[in-house]
């Protein structure tokens, strides 16, 4: 289960923060030949229109886009560190 956190990045000390999730991923160590756990920060984003309103994809398009991105992620992960 990911742990949610926020990272303060604004150089003007305004207190603005970016939402992040910390997850543990298994990463293949090519030196030792062993899969090892590593904590990774994932920035949480939302697709919005020019006015900042959440994008309305309707008709299941958003689900299809997320499934396609998940498939691409899985393929890239296999290409980088195959089991």
Tokens matching residue 83: 């089991």
Domain layout of the chain by residue ranges:
3-80
Tokens matching residue 70: 């998940």
Give me the residue label for tokens 């997320």. Answer: 66
Q: What is the pLDDT of residue 25?
A: 85
| Cα–Cα distance, 83 to 74 (Å, whole number) | 12
| φ, ψ of residue 48 in degrees (nearest 5) | -135, 160
Question: Digits of tens for pLDDT over the chain (83 positions)?
Answer: 667 776 766 666 677 777 888 888 888 888 999 999 988 888 878 777 777 777 776 666 777 888 889 999 989 888 887 66
Q: What is the pLDDT of residue 42?
A: 83
Q: What is the pLDDT of residue 71?
A: 92
Q: What is the pLDDT of residue 10?
A: 64
Tokens matching residue 37: 């756990």
């Amino acid at each position: 289960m990911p742990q949610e956190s926020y990272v303060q990045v604004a150089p003007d000390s305004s207190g603005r923060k970016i939402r992040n999730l910390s997850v543990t991923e298994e990463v293949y160590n090519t030196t030792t030949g062993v899969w090892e756990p590593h904590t990774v920060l994932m920035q949480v984003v939302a697709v919005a229109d020019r006015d900042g309103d959440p994008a309305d994809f309707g008709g299941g398009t958003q689900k299809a886009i997320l499934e396609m991105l998940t498939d691409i992620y899985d393929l890239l992960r296999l290409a980088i560190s195959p089991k």
